[in-house]
Structure 1
Amino acid sequence: MRDRTEAAAKAKELVSRMTLEEKASQLKYDAPSIDRLGIPAYNWWNEVLHGVARAGTATVFPQAIGLAAMFDEDMQEKIADVISDEARAKFNGQSRHGDRDIYKGLTVWSPNINIFRDPRWGRGHETYGEDPYLTSRLGIRFIQGLQGKGKYLKTAACSKHFAVHSGPEALRHQFDARANAKDMNETYLPAFEATVREGEVESVMGAYNRVNGEPACGSETLLKKTLREKWGFRGHIVSDCWAIRDFHVNHKVTATAPESAALALKNGCDLNCGNTYLHILEALQEGLITEEEITTACEHLFTTRFMLGLFADDCEYDQIPVTANDTDEHAALALEAAEKSMVLLENDGILPLDPGSIRTIAVIGPNADSIPALEGNYNGTSSRYVTFLEGLRRYAEKHGIRVLYSLGCHLFKDRTSGLAQADDRLAEAAMYAEAADVTIACVGLDAGLEGEEGDTGNEYFSGDKKDLLIPESQRRLLDVLTESAKKLVTVVTAGSSLNVPGGNAKVFTWYPGQAGGTALAELLFGEKNFSGHLPLTFYRDINDLPDFENYSMENRTYRYFTGKPLYPFGYGLSYTSYQVLSASVSGNEVKTEITNNGKMDGDALVQIYVECDSPFAPVHPRLCGFRRISLKAGETGTVSVPLDPLTYTVVDPDGQRVTVEHCTLYAGVCQPDEQSIEMTGSKPVSIRK
């Protein structure tokens, strides 16, 4: 696709003309210019998790966990392709104006492919969920969309945070994540390996924590033996932000900043997000590193810059105009993604709403008219936000429906006005609910309540969840609405597992991006059909899980959880019903025949699970294939689902992957367990291999 050998040769030649001090200066994220060599300043730090982030106007797609809920590889790559177009458009224009600041480069620190192993983790909504195979496929396609297919990289993607990282946020700077060999090779490493080998990701970012005793950003086991030697990674490695400082300040594995810089550099960390590499030359003077190691890191970094075409006059992406950002076509894609990502969890028949029989709806709740509820974190700024209230009002106006709105309560405080008594908006919420034919309660969280721990590298404070409940203020609101509303639709906005009771129907929207309100209105009124599915298990109570700090996979995620979930992984309802009629294995794919038994067109998600006859297999069948198919009402179609190359394998306690002779495949629209079958009304077809 592109010539790394040529880029590496050019990088080697350019770096050979630098002084020692100049080479050292280039190993920090805010690399200065070297005017005598024609090298402009470059800031390596940019974020594009679900759109170009933190650099002004850009299309805001659903948060990563919402993208995962689409279970759609092609859509995933299409969205990433749009994001990289916008990144190039903004880079081209801003560079011409001399703006080379943070969040404006072409090295983008996405995707986050950590495994969402525990619902308390605040950053879980940045991931693609709890399953290694789903994470691998979506990570690969996102990377391919970001990096493009041209002579040069359109942007340079980054797999993060390598490799065992999923909270607690409050402890991440000193925490040691202990994982056994089986969990490492079965759960924590496969998605990273896939994005390196198949996705050809250009960079990998280490994690803050230690992994089995070694700080991740200075781990010989992870960075040298696994990433470079075993997997053959040829790109560059970047630290998480200020993570190298943690070596001596928090982890106490080194005593000084020069020692920390040396530990990271010697084990392959080329780029420091932070400032500890200001001590590189001190480390050299103390004999802790060699100039050759500085040179190698610098060559890795400039190889990436050459692969991006930053020193070329024939880069096809240099011609992308600023007007390629925030286009109508991109907005349409963001709407389609929001529609495909929302999950219908419960429905007693109230949905879809009939606009002909409804005269008044009440839209109530702290997330009803909230832009943060659309955005998630690591987000850009849209010029086209449509909140849930706005989307529902626009739809209602077209059909002569009156809309009543109340905030209902504060997102998490006990009152909305400082001088008022507690629950100062509950009466308003109750009277509007009583007056309406249908009440739509918009509750949940936003990235201010679940997200990344605030520190010197972040712009906000958030963190982990303590439980699976929405804030108490909202629980009181739902109690009132349950009593007052004639019919109640509960719309939950969040990026993780929550247990929210009440309502005739329940919809989970994730953080749906700029078009969330339009998508919600279309889905609730049946203009579109629900097709999103859960990329993670929804649990009933946090007490059903092991300690947050325990990184063993025992009793975690759908593969190992022994309790009864609230909603299973892969679950999602629609306004129609689907049934896989037959399935057969042909080579490395499963050919299925599936029918739409209902009266509405929709997208079915064919899910393939495997159960191997081995004591080393997970407790439950695991996902090994998935594919969406559009079916009209009453239509039967066929779809071929590619299988995970690792389908007929298990990982033994020593971490070795072994092939199993006898396995059973299940092809359906849900997991093959009794609860999923009961909740969806559709039983998978089994195939014995």
Structure 2
Amino acid sequence: WYRIGQVIGTEARGVYNNGQAEGLTFWAPNINVFRDPRWGRGQETPGEDPTMTGKYAAVFVRGVQGYAISGAINSSDLEASACCKHFTAYDLENWKGVTRFAFDAKVTEQDLADTYNPPFKSCVEDGGASGIMCSYNRVNGVPTCADHNLLSKTARGDWSFNGYITSDCDAVAIIHDVQGYAKAPEDAVADVLKAGMDVNCGGYIQTHGVSAYQQGKITGEDIDRALRNLFAIRMRLGLFNGNPKYNRYGNIRADQVCKKEHQDLALQAAQDGIVLLKNDAGALPLSKSKVSSVAVIGPNGNNASLLLGNYFGPPCISVTPFQALQGYVKDATFVQGCNAAVCNVSNIGEAVHAASSADYVVLFMGLDQNQEREEVDRLELGLPGMQESLVNKVADAAKKPVILVLLCGGPVDVTFAKNNPKIGAIVWAGYPGQAGGIAIAQVLFGEHNPGEILFHPTLSNSWRLS
């Protein structure tokens, strides 16, 4: 995690120093606790454990900002600026008509202290984060961006936070326009500035700030404080120090982007994120010398963009799982089987024929960004559409027990596959990034040992929350 943060900070500086970026602030990491497995943005987080999420937050932020992995932070300079989000108790996008903009999270003081806030506390106290983003939702009736107790008393007071606090985009507008918490737009502006928020992502304060000032709802000191917090970070980044090539981080060049060591780290991260869920009768690893042909089947098998999840930059390389497996087996065939992960249109017959003709079968199923992402939650945990039927029919037709690889951020219920003796192995790969196809192939052929612990629970599709 620390090394990944380091690469992000270094590559950001390289791009900035080359004149290809206007700023160096990153609104990451997402450290909300992944409590509901149907949440569309769970894929962005380290999981359901507040302690692990806090440790992740601290070292990732240290890496991005150019600090040592541990110990005292003795410099105010920033290689890049990290922002921990979304503060706090945010894990809903759109659930049965309830949107994140209107959602009011009812959280006890104990649960807030034990579950939702510890990652942010660690991000600030242990990581030295220079930014915090308040969330869209309310907590016990109060919008987080308008909560003085949360932003000023807790973050700045109790944790000694020294940085800027930004809203999520248009989170100030919804305080009046959606939530009705503020009676007038000017009240929304006053609520957030007096609570301790500094930056509005959106144009609401720009539109209504002057009238809020004229009406006496905000003061010059409210504005000055916000500007001080914002410009202090820009100064710590060296944005006012002239030509960046002659400043502290000026020796970092654009050739740092996609350098071999960074791509090697992307591969290691992908490898270490893969988890073996089932392996009956030694189905894995496969043997190069014994696999004469392989059928790769499934909507996630030959599209490199599906390896990336959401919120990603342009990858340095683009290798699909099918392309990677072609490097191990010359006689490799790909059949999509479904139109996409939604799998409402299928060609099971073609998939069955390919499976019955090959020595081995690897199925690439799971989810994509149409099932889970920002603004999209899932209603259930099963594989979408006709995926389960496709898997079972391919398994029935195959000569040997098939291998099922799951590409998804949140958990999926594959109890059917666990109990099917014709499915020899199940591998969870998440959204493994640019090197994911290579990493999966290496795991399948025994060149890397997969992990054994998921970052989220495996739950039955019968599990429900109201």
User: In the alignment, is the contact (CA less than 8 A) between 1:372 and 1:446 conserved in 2?
Assistant: no
For 1:91 and 1:252, how far apart are their aligned partners in 2? 41
User: In the alignment, is the contact (CA less than 8 A) between 2:277 and 2:425 conserved in 1?
Assistant: yes
**1:406 and 2:320 are equivalent in the alignment:** no
For 2:382 and 2:463, how far apart are their aligned partners in 1? 14
For 1:216 and 1:141, how far apart are their aligned partners in 2? 25
Q: Name the aligned partner's letter for residue 499 of structure 1.
A: D
2:259 to 303, 323, 327: 327
For 1:324 and 1:391, how far apart are their aligned partners in 2? 26
Alignment of 1:278-317 (within 5 A): 278=206, 279-312=208-241, 315-317=247-249
Q: CA deviation at 1:371?
A: 2.0
Residue 312 of structure 1: SS of its match in structure 2?
A: coil
| Partner residue in 2 for 1:468 | 381
For 1:300 and 1:148, how far apart are their aligned partners in 2? 20
**1:523 and 2:456 are equivalent in the alignment:** no
For 1:379 and 1:303, how far apart are their aligned partners in 2? 28
Question: Displaced runs of 4+ in structure 1, greater than 6 A?
Answer: none
For 2:53 and 2:291, how far apart are their aligned partners in 1? 42
| Partner residue in 2 for 1:544 | 463
Measured against aligned partners, the alpha-carbon deviations of 1:169-199 in whole angstroms (never above 9, x if no partner) come to 3511011101011111110111111111111
For 1:443 and 1:332, how far apart are their aligned partners in 2? 26
| Partner residue in 2 for 1:138 | 56
Q: CA deviation at 1:413?
A: 5.1
User: In the alignment, is the contact (CA less than 8 A) between 1:372 and 1:447 conserved in 2?
Assistant: no
Q: Name the aligned partner's letter for residue 389 of structure 1.
A: F
| Structure 1 residues 473 and 270, CA gap change in structure 2 (3 angstroms) | same
User: In the alignment, is the contact (CA less than 8 A) between 1:215 and 1:247 conserved in 2?
Assistant: yes
Residue 333 of structure 1: SS of its match in structure 2?
A: helix
Q: CA deviation at 1:368?
A: 0.2
For 1:545 and 1:317, how far apart are their aligned partners in 2? 51
1:270 to 198, 209, 213: 198
| Structure 1 residues 448 and 544, CA gap change in structure 2 (3 angstroms) | closer
User: In the alignment, is the contact (CA less than 8 A) between 2:341 and 2:365 conserved in 1?
Assistant: no
**1:195 and 2:123 are equivalent in the alignment:** yes
Q: CA deviation at 1:511?
A: 0.3
| Partner residue in 1 for 2:391 | 478
For 2:391 and 2:16, how far apart are their aligned partners in 1? 46
| Partner residue in 1 for 2:47 | 129
Q: Name the aligned partner's letter for residue 37 of structure 2.
A: P
| Structure 1 residues 82 and 294, CA gap change in structure 2 (3 angstroms) | same
Question: Aligned pairs, how many?
Answer: 444
| Partner residue in 1 for 2:306 | 373
In the superposition, the TM-score normalised over structure 1's length comes to 0.63
Q: Which moved more, 1:113-122 or 1:277-286?
A: 277-286
- Let me know the Cα RMSD of the aligned residues: 1.5
Measured against aligned partners, the alpha-carbon deviations of 1:597-651 in whole angstroms (never above 9, x if no partner) come to xxxxxxxxxxxxxxxxxxxxxxxxxxxxxxxxxxxxxxxxxxxxxxxxxxxxxxx
For 1:340 and 1:246, how far apart are their aligned partners in 2? 40
For 2:452 and 2:13, how far apart are their aligned partners in 1? 30
Measured against aligned partners, the alpha-carbon deviations of 1:225-267 in whole angstroms (never above 9, x if no partner) come to 2112222212110000000000011110112222211111111
| Partner residue in 1 for 2:405 | 491
For 2:319 and 2:325, how far apart are their aligned partners in 1? 9
Alignment of 1:342-353 (within 5 A): 342-348=274-280, 349-353=282-286
Residue 364 of structure 2: SS of its match in structure 1?
A: strand
For 1:186 and 1:202, how far apart are their aligned partners in 2? 23
For 2:301 and 2:341, how far apart are their aligned partners in 1? 14
1:386 to 306, 319, 340: 319
1:444 to 366, 370, 379: 366
| Partner residue in 1 for 2:65 | 147
**1:514 and 2:434 are equivalent in the alignment:** yes
For 1:282 and 1:315, how far apart are their aligned partners in 2? 41
Alignment of 1:35-184 (within 5 A): 76-95=1-20, 100=22, 105-149=23-67, 152-169=77-94, 170-184=98-112
1:214 to 142, 151, 157: 142
User: In the alignment, is the contact (CA less than 8 A) between 1:411 and 1:471 conserved in 2?
Assistant: no
Q: CA deviation at 1:496?
A: 0.7
For 1:326 and 1:449, how far apart are their aligned partners in 2? 30
Q: Name the aligned partner's letter for residue 297 of structure 1.
A: A
For 1:448 and 1:375, how far apart are their aligned partners in 2? 13
Measured against aligned partners, the alpha-carbon deviations of 1:85-135 in whole angstroms (never above 9, x if no partner) come to 11111222235xxx63xxxx2110000000000001000111110001100
For 1:491 and 1:370, how far apart are their aligned partners in 2? 14
**1:428 and 2:344 are equivalent in the alignment:** no
Measured against aligned partners, the alpha-carbon deviations of 1:134-158 in whole angstroms (never above 9, x if no partner) come to 0011110000000003662011101
User: In the alignment, is the contact (CA less than 8 A) between 2:409 and 2:431 conserved in 1?
Assistant: yes
User: In the alignment, is the contact (CA less than 8 A) between 2:341 and 2:368 conserved in 1?
Assistant: no
For 1:139 and 1:132, how far apart are their aligned partners in 2? 10
Residue 89 of structure 1: SS of its match in structure 2?
A: helix
For 1:434 and 1:482, how far apart are their aligned partners in 2? 9
More helix by share: 2
Identity %: 39
For 1:140 and 1:332, how far apart are their aligned partners in 2? 23
For 2:218 and 2:182, how far apart are their aligned partners in 1? 14
| Structure 1 residues 443 and 300, CA gap change in structure 2 (3 angstroms) | same
Alignment of 1:600-619 (within 5 A): none
Q: CA deviation at 1:218?
A: 1.0
Q: Name the aligned partner's letter for residue 236 of structure 1.
A: Y
Q: Name the aligned partner's letter for residue 295 of structure 1.
A: D
| Partner residue in 1 for 2:329 | 396
2:289 to 351, 356, 361: 356
Unaligned runs of 5+ residues in structure 1 are: 1-75, 416-421, 454-462, 548-689
Residue 472 of structure 1: SS of its match in structure 2?
A: coil
Q: CA deviation at 1:409?
A: 1.1
Q: CA deviation at 1:470?
A: 1.4
For 1:466 and 1:217, how far apart are their aligned partners in 2? 28
User: In the alignment, is the contact (CA less than 8 A) between 2:151 and 2:196 conserved in 1?
Assistant: yes
Q: Name the aligned partner's letter for residue 402 of structure 2.
A: L
For 1:437 and 1:300, how far apart are their aligned partners in 2? 63
